[in-house]
């Protein structure tokens, strides 16, 4: 029986690249996102390679998540891989200038959405057992502080700790849990973060040779295809151009 991977946020960036990578290897796909037209286009493209099931879903909507996952066709009853990828940053202003609505959106998406997909899919992953994997999209921002990261970075710190804690609770089931923590990667992430400002998007990546979504997809594919007795607990990756800025001192 072919393996099935469930990808949240498959309409762009890492999620879309993962869909292509796993389809090439013959995995069946369950793809989610809010943008129906993009989901349909990806389904049209990848159905030539494998079985594709799409779910037009907002991960923040717990009821919709429950209904969609409970209603998954029998064909997808056992899930071998869950890629908890849907997420976003909004803004990079200092905390006193931020909108609480943006903070709510980041918490609801990056924390609560990830909680929902994980909890709802755990029975299917456990039914698969040995060799099943959850890969969570954390970030360097969950580990290293930087100005303007505030709630975004804090949501990714949640992802890191939740991943470790899940490992404990899943011992004996064969289900593995990994947190990957990428640094600068080129995707629509920065367009979303900067409200569609193309100039800020361009400036973010200019001259930096950022990681590409296909690089992340390859990394996730590698993690999920490790021998069944190996768990990659966490994996931090940055472009070679990215390092740390050092501690700063404000002087009066
Ligand atoms: P993109 O903006 O390209 O993709 C984000 C995906 O998440 C889209 O498919 C989007 O789909 C989906 N999404 C966002 N909000 C929701 C929601 N409420 N419900 C359902 N889907 C949602 O960004 P990336 O691919 O770069 O980011 C993917 C993940 O990787 C995120 O969690 C991000 O925090 C993390 N990350 C990104 C890094 C980067 O530098 N790019 C570095 C480290 C981590 P749609 O809009 O159709 O719903
Ligand atoms: C995205 C990476 O450095 O923009 O999670 O926070 S960063």
The CA 89 to ligand 1 mean position distance, Å, reads: 8
Strand runs (DSSP E) across 38-161, as ranges? 52-56, 81-84, 133-137
Residue nearest to atom 36 of ligand 1 (CA): 139
The CA 139 to ligand 1 mean position distance, Å, reads: 12
Q: Which of 152, 153, 210, 243 has most ligand 2 atoms within 8 Å of its beta carbon, as the pocket-test mutant? A: 152
Q: In this model, does residue 7 exceed pLDDT 80?
A: yes
How many Å separate Cα 102 from the centre of its chain? 19
Is-contact 186 211, C-beta < 8 A? yes
**Among this protein's residues, is 152 annotated catalytic?**
yes
**pLDDT band, very low/low/confident/very high, at 2 (cuts 50, 70, 90):** very high
Mean pLDDT of 102-122: 98
Is-contact 175 126, C-beta < 8 A? yes
What are the pocket residues of ligand 1 if the criterion is a CB atom closer than 6 Å to any ligand atom?
Answer: 9-15, 33-35, 57-60, 85-88, 109, 113, 137, 139, 182, 184-185, 187-189, 192
Is-contact 121 55, C-beta < 8 A? no
Hey, CA dihedral for 22, 28, 33, 34, is it positive or negative? positive
pLDDT in tens, 177-200: 999 999 999 999 999 999 999 999
Q: In this model, does residue 77 exceed pLDDT 90?
A: no
Strand runs (DSSP E) across 19-151, as ranges? 28-33, 52-56, 81-84, 133-137
**pLDDT band, very low/low/confident/very high, at 69 (cuts 50, 70, 90):** very high
pLDDT at 121: 98
Atom of ligand 1 nearest to the CA of 87: 32
**pLDDT band, very low/low/confident/very high, at 216 (cuts 50, 70, 90):** very high
What are the pocket residues of ligand 2 if the criterion is a CB atom closer than 6 Å to any ligand atom?
Answer: 139-141, 149, 183-184
How many Å separate Cα 222 from the centre of its chain? 15
Which ligand is located closest to the Cα atom of residue 242? 2
Atom of ligand 1 nearest to the CA of 10: 9
Residue 242: how many other CB atoms lie within 10 Å: 14
Instruction: State the catalytic residue, choosing from 116, 146, 152, 205.
Output: 152
Q: Which of 14, 104, 113 has most ligand 1 atoms within 8 Å of its beta carbon, as the pocket-test mutant? A: 14
Give the DSSP per-residue string, 189-249. Answer: HHHHHTTT-HHHHHHHHTTT--B-HHHHHHHHHHHHTS-TT----EEEE--TT--------
Q: In this model, does residue 1 exceed pLDDT 80?
A: no
């Amino acid at each position: 029986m072919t393996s099935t991977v469930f990808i949240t946020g498959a309409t762009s960036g890492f999620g879309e690249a993962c869909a292509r990578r796993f389809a090439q290897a013959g995995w069946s796909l369950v793809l989610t996102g809010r943008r129906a037209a993009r989901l349909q286009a990806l389904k049209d493209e990848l159905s030539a390679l494998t079985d594709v099931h799409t779910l037009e879903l907002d991960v923040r909507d717990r009821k919709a998540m429950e209904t969609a996952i409970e209603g998954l066709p029998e064909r997808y009853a056992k899930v071998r891989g869950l890629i908890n990828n849907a997420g976003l940053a909004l803004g990079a202003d200092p905390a006193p200038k931020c909108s609480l609505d943006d903070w709510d959106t980041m918490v609801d998406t990056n924390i609560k959405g990830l909680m929902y997909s994980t909890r709802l899919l755990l029975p299917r992953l456990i039914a698969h057992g040995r060799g099943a994997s959850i890969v969570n999209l954390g970030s360097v921002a969950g580990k290293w502080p930087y100005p303007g990261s505030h709630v975004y970075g804090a949501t990714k710190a949640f992802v890191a700790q939740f991943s470790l804690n899940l490992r404990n609770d899943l011992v004996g089931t064969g289900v593995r849990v990994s947190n990957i923590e990428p640094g600068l990667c080129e995707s629509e992430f920065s367009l979303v973060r900067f409200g569609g400002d193309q100039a800020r998007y361009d400036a973010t990546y200019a001259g930096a040779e950022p990681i590409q979504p296909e690089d992340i997809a390859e990394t996730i594919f590698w993690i999920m295809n490790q021998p069944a007795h190996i768990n990659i607990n966490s994996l931090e990756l940055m472009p070679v151009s990215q390092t740390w800025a050092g501690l700063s001192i404000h002087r009066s």
